Amino acid sequence: MLAGLAVLAFIVLEFFAIRFSWKAITSTRTSQGAVGWVVFLIAAPYLGVPLYLFLGHHKFNNYLIARRDSEQVIDSLRDFANANAPETETVIPVEPFERIAELPAVRGNSMQLLIDGEQTFEALFAAIDAAQTYVLVQFYIINDDGQGRALRERLIAAANRGVSVRLMFDAVGSAKLKAGFLDPLREAGVEMADPEQARGPKNRYQLNFRNHRKTVIVDGTIGFTGGFNVGDEYMGLNPKFGDDWRDTHAVLRGPIISQLQLIFAEDWHWATEQNIVQGLEWEAPYAPENMTGMIMPTGPGDDMETGALFFFSAIVAAKQRLWIASPYFVPDTDVLTALKHAALRGVDVRILVPEVIDHTIPWLAAFAYFDEIRAAGVEVWRYDSGFMHQKVVLVDDGLAAIGTTNMDNRSFRLNFEAMALFFDSRAAEATAQMLEADFARSFRLEKNLAEQPAKVRYGAPIARLFSPVL
């Protein structure tokens, strides 16, 4: 009897192994990846089939996009683009980025950099405290600690004075949040897209897909995005990382807020099936700085691999300077080749990564790429004054991007991300000054992999094997 059940179970597993193998052959991005999955699935179905369910997908089917789901929104976007079109031509062409984002570059914006936890949370909390009609909040991680409770208190206070408050957080990033933290928010009337109740990845064997966006919008007139989540470590209070948690957030004003708000509405629509577009303010006043900007949303719900295409487009646009700060460096082949080609063209290419470890496998995997890019002339800088978590891209004197997208395969094709792009020399200059200060607190990598300690020499090639999901 038991033998018969075992044979039946093996036949069922082999059926799914063959089915998933065909899916891997037809959908995996590289032939090497397809071969790897096929061999693994057929040779070890007991391991391969369960792992493929969680890790074998790179597209999030049926993700409902609010702007594609409503003709009225599409028409409004067209009118929005015409009404807010840039008045002058930008140094860096906007067209590739517009096509990737399916959103237009618009004039009338401003951007202010926030470079530490004190600046960021002071500005965030002040904006929430000043809210008059609504607050939209989304973070990958919210911790039940001092900083998390400070956010909760402000959201409850806003709701108590009649402000509409909506809150989203990721099921994986905020997995430790319990009812004791969330119940007071519900009792105050805060609406939540609770991952425990949402119809998102948590319920579809797709935990590998994560919403990594970090957004706060107040009254449709001021917005925030960047690298900061909500937790004490982002204030430099975790001894593991020291008292210097280096991150970057940005305060946004102008029509770009409407785009950031639209992305929030899309995510809310997916999680709750509620369309909140009609209840929001879509006429943000122009900022006097009049910068041309746009939001670049990317994720596995898109038809194209938009995350990788964003980086590729930024790299090929560079003529003099390309500076990228990212806590993780696990690029795909196309982006890796583009980086090397940019350096070979004479572009000043610098990659700023942390020396301090937060996640060991991606930290090790990065070393497997450093020799290759350094040989082409790319400079690798390692921030060692604390942990560096910012996601920043600077191209020449014409493009600065701040947001949530890391330079790794996870951000390229597995996470939902967002970057704020500014095609403006003033934004580029402010970003350059910020990064120059970071380089001054970093050291340039000079050692090859063969000269690294044993754990790096042997760990990096092994960690690189996991690069498709890092």
Instruction: Single out the catalytic residue among 57, 58, 214, 269.
Output: 214
Give the H or E element holding residue 270: helix 256-272
Q: Which residues pair with 297 in a beta bridge?
A: 418
Joined together, the tokens standing for residue 409 give 């395969």
Catalytic: which of 396, 397, 424, 438?
Answer: 396
CB-neighbour burial class of residue 370 (10 A; exposed 0-12, middle 13-18, buried 19+): buried
371 labelled catalytic: no
The backbone region for 102, taken as left when phi is positive above 0, alpha when psi lies in -120 to 50, beta otherwise, is left
Catalytically annotated residue among 57, 58, 212, 249: 212
Can 359 be counted among the known catalytic residues?
no
What DSSP string describes 412-424? HHTEEEEEEEE--
3-state secondary structure of 334: helix
Instruction: Give the tokens for residue 270.
Output: 């997916």
Annotation marks residue 170 as catalytic? no
Q: Measure the CA–CA gap between 66 and 59, rounded to whole angstroms.
A: 18
CA–CA dist 132, 186 (Å, integer)? 20
Task: Catalytic residue, from 58, 269, 340, 389: name it.
Answer: 389
How many of the other CB atoms lie within 10 Å of CB of 188?
15
With a CB cutoff of 8 Å and minimum separation 6, the contacts of 18 are: 41, 42
Our answer to whether residue 214 is catalytic in this structure is yes
Catalytic residue among 116, 170, 219, 247: 219
Greatest Cα pair distance, the chain, in angstroms, is: 78
Q: Is 269 assigned a catalytic role?
A: no
391 tagged catalytic: yes
Catalytic site residue from 391, 397, 408, 438: 391
Q: Residues 387, 411, 152, 198: is their CA dihedral positive or negative?
A: negative
Point out the residues that are catalytic: 212, 214, 219, 389, 391, 396
